[in-house]
Structure 1
Amino acid sequence: MEPPNKHTRSNEELTISHSFPDLSTLPEPVLVHILSYMDPKEAVQTCILSKRWRRLWTLIPSLNLTNSRFKGNDAAFVHFVTSMLYFRGASKLDSFSLHFNASQHVADEELCQIHVGVATSWIYSVLSCKPLVISLELHKLPYLKLPHALFMCASLEQLELKLYSYSYIKNEESPGPKYVNLPNLKKLTLSKLILNDPVMQGILSGCPLLEELSLIHCILEFSEMKSDLLSCLSITSCRGSKVVEIFMPSLISLHLTNQCPEIIKLSLKNTPSLVKVFVFYSHYAVSHFSGALEFFKCLTVVPVIDLEFCGSGVKDLLEIIIPNCPIFHNLKQLSFGEWGTNEKLDVLFQLLQHTPNLEKLTIVHKKVECSRRAKQKVATIEIPFRCEKLKVIEVKYSDPSGVHELIDVFLRNTSHGKRLRIDYSRS
């Protein structure tokens, strides 16, 4: 048998070549879809493959840019993003995400001013692409002034602004009450902004389709929030000295996290649809909180059926409101995060005396080193509660130590313990 010609392909080689066709033969939408899964820097580098690939990367509908991949070389990152946005032009862009954590110290004022100017030009470039989603996370840019055009982009459906130095939303071009005009915006997240009455009124009136609003580390200088469509409101570690009255007939979920010394005070004036409330309090927050009782009184006149407590200050918070605690007639589900077997269980049982229609109780058990004296105290807790409709006690734990003691206390203090279902799960 003669040896095969070295210039002739074997059948096996031909089969392999037919199994893996040249990517360039694929339709353009497929190639763009593949590029969208690549790192932006790598996607741009495909332009050297051939003439057909030269402009394909400019059609990627979603950009996620972060300078963390440039290993502290801010100059290289700035050059890359500036060039990328320049060559893309006004090609349609569905989603744009920018995370810029300047590596140089903020004391370098001249460099900061340069970064701010560049970041502002990037925002204008992106707005020309009529994006649906914009997410900006900008660190160490204390002189940044958000361009007013960002709050006048008609195409936006989601906007996330996470700043790390306090800023105002201003309309310097035409001062007046109309600060915002985002007719299609449905989800808005704001961080480190100073929000006064005209600005908040402008946000809620200028976003008529807004359904979800999250305020994070903001300074609240407004006294009321009004929206007909907003269904989810989250307020995290915000400060303010005014009582904020909420008029939101479609509000379903309220997420409240307090960790600041100047705790905001909420008053629910028109929230007939509110059914789920999450409350987080730290020890520090509770020591400065003066409106807890008024807030919880508001919850008794709305159809809240799911209430969740979390945070290190929950036990202290309950001690504040228990003496004059209202009755939660509508409450069906109650949850507590990180509650140890020997941590003020009497306060928890006192609260259960105010939830006559409770059906499910969830506790995230926290392991706490318990002295013999503390164990004896837990074993003697006698505060019977009447939750005749309680069906399930769910216990989530990372360490099983003390879990059964906790359940024993519950069963001992309820008259229908035999009818209860106890569910265990690891958290």
Structure 2
Amino acid sequence: MGSNHVDRLSNMPDEVLSEILSLMPTKFAVRTSILSKRWRYNWTLVTNIDIDDSHPYHDLKIFSTFVDRVLGLCKTTEIRLFRLRCMQIWVQKSSVSKWIDEAVRLNVSELDIHVMLLELPLSLFTCKTLTKLKIESNKYWDIMDWQTPFNLPCVKTLDVAVFCNPSRNAFKLIRGCPVLESLSLDIAACSAPEEECRFDIPTLKQLKLTTFKGCNFKKVVLNVPNLDDLFIAGPWHSLFVMEDLSSLVSVTYSLSVMDHLLVELLKGIIGAKSLSFRTTNYMKDLPGVPLLNLPNLKHLELTDDGYKFEQIIIFKFLESCSELEHLSIKTAQVRWGNEPESCWFKPHIVPACMLKTLRTMKYENCKWRKDDIKFLEYMLRNAEVLKTLTVTCKSELLEEQMRLCAKLLKCPRASRYCEIHFVGKSFESASS
């Protein structure tokens, strides 16, 4: 390019180079040190430190030495993010604790730790600069000093995943965050039938509770007056008591709970405007359980997990949502066990929302069974203000798909403005 070529990238201000290098994983930022003398120490100005134990690290000693040097040579006085992922190498708890301590010394704002073994350093207990904290440990993690309480005055986002015993570690951490706005708590397993789990967090706006193997608290109490987004998933076997959810807007339930516990869960969300609900094999008696009225609900999403998705459940929800405007139904792509030939249920009375408010409906993974056709025909015949029906088809046979689509298109519609859209593998899109 000629002898007068100017290396404009290298001539950029240190602040700009720091921003560029901070956008990549730290191991790549460090590699730029071999480019020239000008670049030898540019990487030490990064404001994000993102380290994982994947290639090219071959053993624990090499990996630990690299992390020590990165934190030791870092020249910035403030780092926005320190992310440490050790999923292949079993790093000692003492090393992880030392690295977190170094990040606190560098006035870290966001801390993201995913390791096999974990012990938190004392310096983290009172970190004043931390605003976002994510901790995930594949095994049991301890707090170093049981007598020292957490005091994290600026933490607004907390994401914690623990193997067991959340009352001994996770809840102690939660109580130390007085301005918490977003909380995600994932508990692998917990058997504590004598314990009451309370969430008294007036500042909280988002709450996500998940469990994999099951939680068996005596009671879970939610006193979160400013919460607007609630997500609960997994096999919970605890009684949920909704003391105050007066600001709730959006709710997602992907639960394995008994029917009487579900009713208690629904009691606390009567003011919600959006609900996403996944059926499970635990809810065998749900068709016979009276659901509460949800007068403010505008959006409803029902998902089948592959066990038994009776249409009576759909209509039970429709009857409970008198002001519903948008309905989405997702049937299972794979179904467990043998299906009955027909489980079609025709309601005695058309739900009120179908007569005055229901405007859009999606029916995903339609397999064109008799029940599917009857249900869709019923909706078209009775939804008086429906504007759009979208059907996602699962049949692989083009001729069968087109024949059944034609049948649905010929069905009388209560709403003269209703359009039907079809989406499937055999054709990109069709509508009428």
Using structure 1 for the length normalisation, give the TM-score.
Answer: 0.79
Structure 1 residue 123 corresponds to structure 2 residue 95 = no
Superposition pairs of residues 289-308 of structure 1, within 5 angstroms: 291-300=261-270, 303-308=271-276
Structure 1 residue 385 corresponds to structure 2 residue 350 = yes
Contact map agreement 1:275 1:304 (CA 8 A) in 2: yes
**SS of equivalent to 2:268:** helix
Superposition pairs of residues 210-359 of structure 1, within 5 angstroms: 210-217=180-187, 219=190, 221-237=195-211, 239-259=215-235, 263-281=237-255, 285-286=256-257, 291-300=261-270, 303-310=271-278, 312-313=280-281, 316-317=282-283, 319-320=285-286, 322-338=288-304, 343-359=309-325
Match for 1:247: what amino acid?
N
**Aligned pair partner of 2:327 in 361, 367, 371:** 361
Match for 2:248: what amino acid?
L
Change (3 A) 1:403 1:73: farther
Match for 1:296: what amino acid?
L
1:198 CA displacement: 9.7
**SS of equivalent to 2:372:** helix
Distance 1:100 1:372 in 2: 43
Match for 2:362: what amino acid?
V
Greater helix fraction, Structure 1 or Structure 2: 1
Aligned length: 384
Q: Return 5+ residue gaps in structure 1 as ranges.
A: 1-12, 105-111
**SS of equivalent to 2:128:** coil
1:373 CA displacement: 9.2
Match for 2:262: what amino acid?
A
Identity %: 24
Aligned to 1:394: 361
Distance 1:158 1:371 in 2: 44
**SS of equivalent to 2:166:** strand
Contact map agreement 2:275 2:301 (CA 8 A) in 1: yes
Distance 1:274 1:86 in 2: 46
1:72 CA displacement: 4.5
Contact map agreement 2:53 2:89 (CA 8 A) in 1: no
Match for 1:257: what amino acid?
A
**SS of equivalent to 1:366:** coil
Distance 1:277 1:53 in 2: 50
1:48 CA displacement: 4.0
Distance 1:371 1:223 in 2: 36
Structure 1 residue 69 corresponds to structure 2 residue 55 = yes
Q: Return 5+ residue gaps in structure 2 as ranges.
A: 393-422, 424-432
Aligned to 1:196: 167
**Aligned pair partner of 1:42 in 23, 28, 32:** 28
Aligned to 1:156: 130
Change (3 A) 1:32 1:69: same
1:88 CA displacement: 1.6
Distance 1:165 1:371 in 2: 35
Match for 2:361: what amino acid?
E
Match for 1:127: what amino acid?
V
1:252 CA displacement: 0.6
Change (3 A) 1:245 1:87: same
**SS of equivalent to 1:274:** coil
**SS of equivalent to 1:350:** helix
Contact map agreement 1:338 1:364 (CA 8 A) in 2: yes
**SS of equivalent to 2:30:** helix
1:213 CA displacement: 0.4
Aligned to 1:182: 152
**SS of equivalent to 2:320:** coil
Match for 1:162: what amino acid?
E
